[in-house]
Structure 1
């Protein structure tokens, strides 16, 4: 028995995971040298441990490295990297797009890398200050793989790029890549369930080839989708209406039952299942989880606490307050606000701009006072020069010059003089 096969059979980490390929196939696809993907390995291990030991993990979508650092400093234990946000304000094309996979496919991996680099800078800044070890900055990053940006081969390569950038987990959705829509937009077109399973297998194979225990989450949009690209799959046929759309797609009923059937088909290949819902509905969430767990008692679920919902229109304040804890009881172990970072940036930027226009510098000084008051809670970004690593590079320069350099930046800075 090979080392890979022994690992799959004996490590509890792989309980319930189906691989429809052999260990020797993985060996044949590996490069001749072993490459360590430290960020991804550490993140995947940390995220897996959280899933096993905690009732649930909260996360928000981060737009920048700095925002992710503040989420970590504020106490969150994972970062969600939203394709919606990447489309909207953080993609490599430099454009603002709707969530329809218009952006370049390397955009999410590059943001994963940027966030990990920001975590590393925060780590080094703490070490320079003599506080190293107080914070484990390297939060797991759960990255949006969209619909794989194509077929199974595209998914295979995308997954490798995610791992190289340092993702701990990736999620994929069962929409047709060329018609991909946000889960809360109309016009979604599903692909056959078996075709999506091939994408999940491709992602697992990619992770195995580079020897990273990547966590994979399968998302189904079957609840609200009304179209499917083909009628060839036995899993999907009970839900077909027999009608065609003007584009030639097949019409499907969708709904909760369809989502449950698809989730059961995907469960053997993944660690987490995400059912994209149209409202924050307790009963729908409960039924979905209970039905899937009848066949797969160990599967865990992700839940999109979406800003697309008008939460106050669906739930009372008391229901909102207990929403996540209630879902956790049913196995929703990863709960995330997909575009939370986008809303934080937009709203706070708008409010600050209005105040600045109306009151001038009093507006910014008010913000600065709020920052100072948050220092006692652990906030440090009030010292912006320190936060970006000026002290670290001063330490590098001091080492290079033997301590004789007169060009070190932080010691005589206004920040050092005024923000002590």
Structure 2
């Protein structure tokens, strides 16, 4: 392809293929700020196919079918190939960043879910599981042919993985996406927290990025997938229902929830300055913490619109109809624009001043304080929706009413949008007021609302801990009786293939390969025959 004519022909052919790809029914609801002509510049000349793209088609078909029927695709977060193979009829696999952070990072340094592990950590776990899937799939087909197994287990379940915040800027998001595609993930999810300040979605102190920043992450990930020519899915997650901090006020869409004080910079000493002065004065950490609490107690916080209402009431200018019109016109507008809109509606001889200062309460890191609300989570999700295949609302509690409110507002604008729900072990499920029927039906009730994909994110981690703790405690007192009662007897009862762990690992498959190399010989050294094979005891 060294001649100009050959290059021109290749570019024209590739452009035509890309136009067909971007305009295919698969992407009919996806928005891109670029065209095929832009994309062709970044493609390269070597055609590469990725198994994860094949798996993503399987996943999307499954999600579409269940979304139409309003039934759930529910799964459990797995941590290793053992759990992967024991999913039974569960049809997808989930890989949690929290679990990877706490169990096996790329550097073998484990810790809490604060996003400080290297960005290849979760892709590496995906690769480990995907390669295990391929191995067990080969084993299953071999056993079907050689041993006459009637039913073949489908080990090739699509993998959905945690991409966290993207672990950096947009170029890092693209590299991370590329890794996930190469390693075997059919779908990945990004959350709208700030990289470097990220926390588990169920911890306090979360810092959101501007809405526009997260939109760019989603676009960057889609661009990388388009360059690779894959159909893998992108899930946009928001943690804004409970987040209290915002990294920047640059996006007017976030101004509705930014908190400020009723004053101006000349009268209120900003919180960060007050804390810095205390440090220079040699105040202790306890004194500084108390100073921060005192400052917040002395300076009540409002959103701009809350303060507008108070000022209007104080000046006897409040009219509910006018205020609602102001709110309608101010949606997604900046604070400065809101001031202009208000004064245009009031038509006063002198402009009404709203002494709102949202810089004064900023933290020492420079983060803005925000009001966590479901409305904010919905508005953010609506902004993310055109760029994503699914939307994920991370919730404070397992609340069906919250799910209904979210679903109705999203589907009023995007009726096609499939939703995701984290059935998190962070919730104390027995303390949520569910009776047994409600607890049993919760998954199916969510599915009726369009929460098609549902996951117990850390199921593998917790079940691993419970079962091993029970075994260790019993083994200490009752020895092998505990192992037999708690492990082998249950394996037999549940027909768990790990009972014959050599066969589970694929030793028969390996023997078959070695015998083929030996041209049919080597039966005396076969691992699966003869008196030395302990698994004939079962």
* TM superposition score normalised by structure 2: 0.75
Matches within 5 A, 1:211-230: 211-230=229-248
Structure 2 contact 377–393 (Cα < 8 Å) conserved = yes
Question: Residues 99-134 of structure 1: CA distance to partner in whole angstroms, max 9, x if unpaired?
Answer: 111222111111111111111221122222224872
Rg comparison, structure with higher value: 2
Mapped to 1, the partners of 2:535 and 2:459 lie a distance apart of 34
* 1:374 aligned residue: 494
* 2:421 aligned residue: 303
* 1:287 aligned residue: 405
* 2:75 aligned residue: 59
Mapped to 1, the partners of 2:215 and 2:368 lie a distance apart of 20
Matched position secondary structure for 2:86: helix
1:85 pairs, out of 79, 86, 99, with 99
Matched position secondary structure for 2:402: helix
Question: Residues 56-84 of structure 1: CA distance to partner in whole angstroms, max 9, x if unpaired?
Answer: 2011111012211111xx21110111001
Structure 1 contact 231–250 (Cα < 8 Å) conserved = yes
* 1:104 aligned residue: 118
Mapped to 1, the partners of 2:39 and 2:459 lie a distance apart of 38
Question: Residues 217-268 of structure 1: CA distance to partner in whole angstroms, max 9, x if unpaired?
Answer: 0000111111000011011011111131122111111210100110000000
* 1:402 aligned residue: 519
1:192 aligns with 2:210: yes
Structure 2 contact 502–535 (Cα < 8 Å) conserved = no
- Structure 2, unaligned stretches of length 5 or more? 1-14, 260-357
- Structure 1, unaligned stretches of length 5 or more? none
* 1:361 aligned residue: 480
Size of the aligned set, in residue pairs, is: 412
Matches within 5 A, 1:175-254: 175-241=193-259, 242=358, 243-254=361-372
Matches within 5 A, 1:132-171: 134-171=152-189
Q: CA RMSD in A?
A: 1.3
Question: Residues 165-214 of structure 1: CA distance to partner in whole angstroms, max 9, x if unpaired?
Answer: 01000000000011010000111100000011000001101111111101
Structure 2 contact 141–152 (Cα < 8 Å) conserved = no
* TM superposition score normalised by structure 1: 0.95
1:323 aligns with 2:442: yes
Structure 2 contact 163–189 (Cα < 8 Å) conserved = yes
TM-superposed deviation, 1:416 = 4.1
1:350 aligns with 2:469: yes
1:20 aligns with 2:33: yes
Structure 1 contact 125–386 (Cα < 8 Å) conserved = no
**Structure 1 stretch 156-165 or stretch 127-136: which is displaced more?**
127-136
Mapped to 1, the partners of 2:150 and 2:484 lie a distance apart of 31
Mapped to 2, the partners of 1:7 and 1:402 lie a distance apart of 47
1:32 aligns with 2:45: yes
Mapped to 1, the partners of 2:372 and 2:250 lie a distance apart of 16
Mapped to 2, the partners of 1:12 and 1:87 lie a distance apart of 37
Structure 1 contact 385–415 (Cα < 8 Å) conserved = no
* 1:4 aligned residue: 18
Structure 1 contact 169–216 (Cα < 8 Å) conserved = yes
TM-superposed deviation, 1:4 = 1.7
Structure 2 contact 247–367 (Cα < 8 Å) conserved = yes
1:338 aligns with 2:351: no
TM-superposed deviation, 1:25 = 2.2
Structure 1 contact 66–118 (Cα < 8 Å) conserved = no
Matched position secondary structure for 1:194: helix
